[in-house]
Amino acid sequence: MQNTIPLAERMRPTSLENYIGQKHIVGEGAILNNAIKSNLLPSIILWGPPGVGKTTLANIIAHQLKRPFYALSAINSGVKDIREVIDKAKGNGLFQQSNPILFIDEIHRFSKSQQDSLLGAVEKGTVTLIGATTENPSFEVISALLSRCQVYILKHLEKDDLLDMLDLAMRTDIVLKHKNIKIEENEALLRLSGGDGRKLLNVFELVVNTIGKDELVITNELVTSIVQQNIAVYDKAGENHYDIISAFIKSIRGSDPNAAVYWLARMIEGGEDPSFIARRLLILASEDIGNANPTALVIANNCFQAVNVIGFPESRIILAQTVTYLATSAKSNAAYMAIANAAQAVKDNGDLPVPLHLRNAPTKLMKDLGYGEDYKYAHSFTSNFINQEYLPEQLAGVKFYEPMNNARENEIRAYLKRLWGDKYNY
């Protein structure tokens, strides 16, 4: 029975002493280690890439603190599931001092309403929340919940960590310890892992099982040849998913239609949801193409609508057409940078007052106070334009949008210069 359990699962540690990596937060004297030892654990968010031990760490914390442990996955849990767990936690709280731990995997996938449903229990201490996410919690976790949690960043495992993991597996695993395995070269294993411990053990187990012998010498050539034979394997719920979608997006951004179509085929053959692919193309059309070719967003949106109507296998053609169009389009991230720059100005300057001439004046009092008094209606002037300030006084003259050097945005730059003169002299 044990042989059917994946190696990565068999090797999942149950104590901090056997936990490999992340010494900056769980090593001796580190902040999270101290919190666990003192049993003063706050609600926390574990942020890091796949395969670095977020779920394992949550289980270890619950085990060492001897607290009830509830786990939900944001992929298949809703508000009803959250409320049921909180009700159970309240019941447990009647009979013991230690509050239960609620672990939510991929918490960034929870909607605002789902995250809102956690607030009361976290604030009152009914549960200690441990959320795991591969996405920046500043963008994916609502501020009210984030302010009640400590965020700990988990890093890709280092080379020594990965080698320690392999050594431990060969010495202690119920299957591998009975084999005579020698790792003569480890570069291919480490490269394929990408700092992901789970992926490392998966690749190692694939190599060992493919050879099927009790005597085995691991070389770079052996690992590469076996992995290439199994390259079609695509875990759309796991780490390979993130690697392939990253390669896909970067190939389109880099204007390589051949590579983009290849990674598209990898996802299609692996059974990826076509809507997921189409959504990513929609984002890319604005983030990486933008005003260099505004039609890109129209085509990406039509693609999204079409694949949801048609589905596989026919929608692969629509996806391929859209992918090759986007890959061969002029590129610009000016819109992406513009909103990022403007958002930073908001954070740096706070809530600056709206200039009086731009304010709405629905009441007599507001009119008497000068709201809207000096506003000039652009359509009343030649070329539907009049030079007036639209930014708060403290930001007058600041440029957030910087047109890129492509045919379409060169026209935009020239247009703005004709209207505004030196103010928009890029």
Return the CATH class of domain 159-229.
mainly alpha
Per-residue tokens: 280: 């990513």
Residue 227 · residue 218 · CB < 8 Å: no
CATH T-level assignment (fold) for domain 239-327: Zinc Finger, Delta Prime; domain 3 (1.20.272)
pLDDT the model gives residue 258: 92
Separation between Cα atoms, residue 247 and residue 216, nearest integer Å: 33
pLDDT higher than threshold 50 for residue 259 = yes
pLDDT for 419 beyond 70:
yes
Q: Which long-range contacts (CB under 8 A, 24 or more apart) does 244-248 make?
A: 244/270, 245/280, 248/277, 248/280
pLDDT at 426: 62
CA nearest to 152, candidates 129, 179, 176? 129
Confidence at residue 56, expressed as pLDDT on a 0 to 100 scale: 92
pTM of model > 0.75 = no
**22-153 CATH fold:** Rossmann fold (3.40.50)
Place of tokens 């059917």: 4
Give me the residue spans of the domains in the chain: 22-153, 159-229, 239-327, 351-424
> Strand 180-183 and strand 215-218: pairing?
parallel
**Domain 351-424, CATH:** 1.10.3710
| pLDDT tens-place string over residues 161-204 | 999 999 999 999 999 999 999 999 999 999 888 788 888 998 99
Can you tell me the distance from the alpha carbon of 407 to that of 218, in angstroms, rounded to the nearest whole number? 53
Q: What is the DSSP letter of 342?
A: H
pLDDT band at 14 (very low <50, low <70, confident <90, very high): confident
Query: Who has greater pLDDT, 366 or 33?
Result: 33
Q: Are 194 and 159 in contact (CB under 8 A)?
A: no
